[in-house]
Chain A
Amino acid sequence: MRVLATIGHTIRRDWRRMLGQGVLFALLFQLFMMIALIVRFQQLPNYVTTYDWFGNVAWIIRSTPSWSDMWPIIAEEWLIEIGHMNYDYGNGISVWSLNVIPSRLVVLSVLGAMIALCLSLLRRDSCSTRTATTLRATTGLGAVLVAMTNATMSWVVCCATPSWVVGLAMLGLGVSTSLALETMGPLLTGLGFGLLTALIVLLAWRATPPTTSMKGTPRHA
C-alpha cells in the first residue's frame, strides 16, 4: 500500500509533465516513423488524406451489433494518411504510407507517460550508476516492445493482412521472420507494459522509506 501511495504521490505531483511528455512521445514517434519511411524508400510523401474520424466512429457504433466487435474496428480507424503514390502504373498506387491512428496515439501517450514516471522515480533513486543504467535499459526495452507493436506504417505489399509487422518488413526484417512474429504482437505489447509496470513498482518500493519498527508496548502512552 505504501508503494502505491508513493506512485500516487509522484503522479499527483508530476501529472502535467507526464501527460505532456506522453503526448510529445506519441507525436515524436509519428515523426520518427515518417523519417524512417522516407529514408527506407528514398522518397518524400506526395499525398495526404484526412478522414472524418469522429463521423466514422459514430457510424461504426451505430452499425456494429456487438460491443466486443466494435472496439477492435474503432481501434483501426485512421485520422490521417500520409504517403507516396506511384503514378507510373494505372491511376496510381500508394507504395507506402504513415497512418495516424487515434487509438495508437492513446497507447503511445500512455507509454510516454509511463516512461516519464519511470524517469521521475529514477531521479529519486540513490542507487549505484550500474543499477541506474540497468533500470534505464529496462525502461528502454519496455518502451521498444510497446512502440514496435504500435507502429502504423503500411505498405501495399501486405495486401492480405495489414498488421504491425508490415513496419518491420518495410524496415528490412526478412519476410519469414516478420510473419513469424505477427501473432506475437499482443504478447509483446503486454510484455512491454508489464516490464514498465514492474519497473515502476520496483522504483516506487525503493523510493518508499522503510517502516520504523516499534518493539514492545509503550509504557506511557
Chain B
Amino acid sequence: MYSKTSLKAALLGAALVPFASMASAEKISIAIGHQSMCTDTYTAGIVVKELGLLEKHLPTDGKYAEADYDVSWADYSSGGPITNQMMANKLNFGVMGDYPLIVNGAKFQETDSLRTLYVAGTGYNLKGSGNAIVVPVDSDIYSIDQLKGKAVSTPVGSAAWGMLLKAMQDNEIPTGDYVLKNQSPAVGAANIAAGKIDAHSDFCPWSEIMEFRGTGRKIYDGSETGVPYLHGVVVRQDFAEEYPEVVEAFIKAVYEAGEWIREDPMRAVSMMEGWTGVEKEVLYLYFSQGGHLTLDPTIKQEWVDALTFNHGVLVKEKAIPPLDFEAWITEDYVKAAYADLGVDYAAEKASMVDPAEANKGLPMEIWHSRDGVSTYPDMPAFLTAVAQMQGTGAKLNATYVYDIETGLKLFGKTAFWVKSGGDYATFLRKGEAEAYAAANGGELVTFDAAIADFITEG
C-alpha cells in the first residue's frame, strides 16, 4: 500500500515538473507607443517593430532566463495619446517629438507616484529642419514676412506649432498680425492642396509630402529658428527600475535600426513605405546621406538646452507643469547599451552633424524608377543625366539637390534654380535665390529650363 502511494506521488511529481518550471517563468509585457506618420520616430518605432529588433536584443539569461516576453506595439498619430496611455500603464515605452516629450515628463512629474525617464534619442536636425511652413504651390507668398494679415494653420501643441511661434517672433510678426488656426496635419495638407488656407505649418514629413505631391511649397524651414528638432524615447520609471536590461535592449534595437537604414537607405525607405504608407521618395529626403535626419540615440547637452527652451514656450502658451530635467533625463541606460554593443558613446555624443557643413560637396541624386538611385558630382553632370533619362521616356521617381544656404536636401523640382553663366545653384527660398542671382549676375530659371540647357539634338 505504502509503495503504491509512493509510486503515485512520484509519478504525479514527475508529471508536474514541467508545469512547475512553467509557473516559475515570468511573463514580461512590453508595450510600445509609436507614430508611423512621424519620420523621426521610425528608428524606435516602425523599423524596430517590423524587423523584430527588440526581440533580438531582449535578455535571456540571469533573471530573464525563464522570461516569457509579450511585445506589443500601438500606432498613434500624435504624442499626446501615448502619454495618456503610459499614465494608465498600458504602454511602457513612448516614442515622440520634442514638445510632446516635454509634456510627457511634466505630466508624470505632476503626479505623486508616477514618473517617466527620457532614456534615448532617435534622431535630430541640429538647426530644426523637419518642421516647415508651406503655402499652396500657386501662392504668391514666398517669405514669412508676407504672412502678415494671412491665415496660418498648424497642429497646436506640436513641435511645428512651437516653431511657428518662434519664427513669427524672430521676424517681429506679432500674433495680432496673423490669424492662427488649429488644424490637423491631414486636414492642413488637404486645405493646402485645395488652396483653402494661406499657409500651414507642420512637422515631419508632412511638408515634404505636400511638396512631393506638387500641392505645396515651403516658404520657411524650421532650420531658420536655429533650435534643434529632436525626437526621443521615454519609459515609465517603475518599468525601467524593474527591467533595466529590457530598456537597454530597446536602445540597442534603436541603434541597430539606425545602422540598418545607413547600410542601404534606398532599401530601407522602400520597406518603410510599405509599412507606413509614406512615399519612399519623401522618406529618402530624411534617411539618405545628407538627409534631414541624423540618426543618433545619444543625449547631448544641446538637446537638454533645446528641450528647456521648448518647455519655456509651453509654460508661456499652455501653462504646463514644471519639469525637473535633472530627474527626468538619464544617460545610464543608453551608456550601458552602447557599452554592451562595444560602441564608443562619448565619441558619438560629441559628434554633431550640421547640414550646412556636412552636406557640402555631396553629390546630386536621381531616383530612376527602374535602376534606383544614381549620384552626380556636379550640376552639369546631373542636369545632363536628367535630360538624357527624360529623353528616353524613363520615369524618374525624384531628383535631389542641396540648398546652397543651409545644406538642406531638396527635391530638384521644388528648388529655386539660379543660372549664372554656365553655373547652376539651387535654393530653398526664392529670396535667397534672387539675392544670389543679383550678386552673381545670374537669373532665376525653372528646373525644366535648366534641364533644357542640356538636351542635345539627335
Contacts and interface: CB of A to CB of B under 8 A. Distances in A.
Contacts of B154: 157
Interface string A159-189: 1111000000110001110110011000000
A178 to B, nearest CB: 8
B184 A93 contact: yes
Interface string B285-326: 000000000000000000000000000001001111000000
A60 B181 CA distance: 36
B180 A175 contact: yes
Category for how many chain A residues contact B: 35 or more
Contacts of A92: 277
A90 B37 contact: yes
Interface string B272-290: 0000111000000000000
B195 interface: no
Contacts of A158: 80, 155-157, 182
B89 interface: yes
A88 B193 CA distance: 12
A35 to B, nearest CB: 20
B156 A175 contact: yes
A60 B84 CA distance: 12
Most buried by A among B77, B111, B161, B209: B77
B185 A93 contact: yes
B36 interface: yes
B113 A64 contact: yes
A89 B155 CA distance: 16
A76 B88 CA distance: 9
Nearest to B112: A66
A95 B77 CA distance: 9
Interface string A72-87: 0100110000000010
Contacts of B320: 160-161
B87 interface: yes
A59 B88 contact: yes
Task: Please report whether the interface of chain B is mostly helix, strand, loop or mixed according to DSSP.
Answer: mixed
Contacts of A88: 186, 189-190
A159 B157 contact: yes
Nearest to B78: A159
A73 B319 contact: no
A14 interface: no
Nearest to B278: A90
A169 B206 CA distance: 22
B442 interface: no
A94 interface: yes
A183 B319 CA distance: 8
Nearest to A90: B277
A65 B190 CA distance: 45
A179 B112 contact: no
Nearest to A156: B184
Contacts of A63: 89, 238
Nearest to A57: B88
A68 interface: yes
A91 interface: yes
A174 B209 CA distance: 27
22 contacts: A63-B89, A64-B89, A68-B112, A69-B112, A76-B84, A76-B88, A86-B186, A89-B185, A89-B186, A89-B209, A90-B37, A95-B187, A159-B80, A159-B100, A160-B157, A160-B161, A160-B314, A162-B80, A169-B182, A174-B180, A179-B156, A179-B318
Interface of A: 56, 59-60, 63-66, 68-69, 73, 76-77, 86, 88-96, 155-162, 169-170, 174-176, 178-179, 182-183
Query: Which 10 residue pairs are nearest across A and B when measured between Cβ atoms?
Result: A160-B157, A159-B78, A66-B113, A90-B277, A65-B113, A63-B89, A66-B112, A86-B186, A156-B184, A157-B155
Interface of B: 36-37, 75, 77-81, 84, 87-90, 99-100, 103, 111-114, 154-158, 161, 175, 180-187, 189-190, 206, 209, 238, 276-278, 314, 317-320
